[in-house]
């Protein structure tokens, strides 16, 4: 299990191993894909990522300080290679893309996703 963020090289290395190996034995590279609200949010860095690291759970965090279009492919590979999809929606940053992703994964991998709505923009998860 990692104690760091996964890099593009990790994904490329994993994908090349999957291509050269038995395609029927495809295993996820990440335990959790961190989907949902991006931008000015703290739920990843202050709540979820520390928890995942403490418990040795691998994850892919698509939120980057600088985003570019070439990251679309990297993020898609990570989505295809994750066991669980965690979506956290912050009321201050909800957008149509988050809802489209949630609908897509709900229809495609119904038993492998979790959805949380934050009560406020301070990172408090509503129970």
Alpha carbon distance 118, 106 (integer Å) = 19
**Confidence check: pLDDT of 57 > 90:** yes
* C-alpha span between 20 and 24 (Å, rounded): 12
pLDDT confidence of 18, banded at 50, 70, 90? very low
pLDDT value of position 109:
61
pLDDT at 96: 79
Summarize pLDDT for 72-116 with one digit per residue, the tens: 899 889 988 899 889 888 877 777 788 888 888 778 765 687 888
> What local confidence, expressed as pLDDT, does residue 32 receive?
94
Question: Chain-wide mean pLDDT for the chain?
Answer: 75
Q: Mark residue 123 as left, alpha or beta (left: phi above 0; alpha: psi -120 to 50; beta: remaining).
A: left
Domain ranges of the chain: 8-12+27-117
Window from 5-9, 102-106, 115-119 with minimum mean pLDDT: 5-9
Cα 58 from Cα 36, distance rounded (Å): 17
CATH of 8-12+27-117, one of 3.40.50.10140, 3.90.1150.10, 3.20.20.150, 3.90.70.10: 3.40.50.10140
> In angstroms, rounded to a whole number, what is the distance separating the alpha carbons of residues 74 and 12?
9
Contact 117, 91 (CB under 8 A): yes
- Between these two residues, 73 and 26, which has the higher pLDDT value? 73
Helices 71-80 and 8-20: angle between axes, nearest 10 degrees: 50
From 67, 63, 14, 24, select the one nearest 40 (Cα to Cα). 63
3-state helix, strand, coil in the chain (%, to 5): 45, 20, 40
Buried b (16+ CB within 10 A) or exposed e, 21-52: eeeeeeebbbbbbbbbbbeebebbeebbbeeb
Per-residue pLDDT band at 120 (split at 50, 70, 90): low
Q: Is 20 or 42 the better-scoring residue by pLDDT?
A: 42
């Amino acid at each position: 299990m990692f104690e760091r963020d996964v890099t593009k090289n990790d994904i490329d290395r994993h994908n090349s191993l999957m291509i050269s190996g038995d395609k029927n034995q495809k295993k996820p590279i990440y335990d959790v894909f961190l989907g949902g609200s991006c931008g000015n949010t703290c739920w990843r860095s202050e709540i979820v990522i520390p928890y995942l690291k403490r418990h040795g759970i691998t994850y892919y965090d698509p939120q980057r300080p600088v985003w570019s279009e070439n990251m679309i492919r990297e993020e898609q590979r990570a989505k295809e290679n994750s066991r669980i999809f965690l979506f956290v929606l912050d009321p201050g940053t909800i957008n149509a893309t988050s809802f489209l992703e949630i609908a897509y994964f709900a229809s495609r991998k119904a038993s492998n996703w979790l959805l949380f709505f934050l009560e406020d923009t301070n990172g408090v998860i509503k129970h």
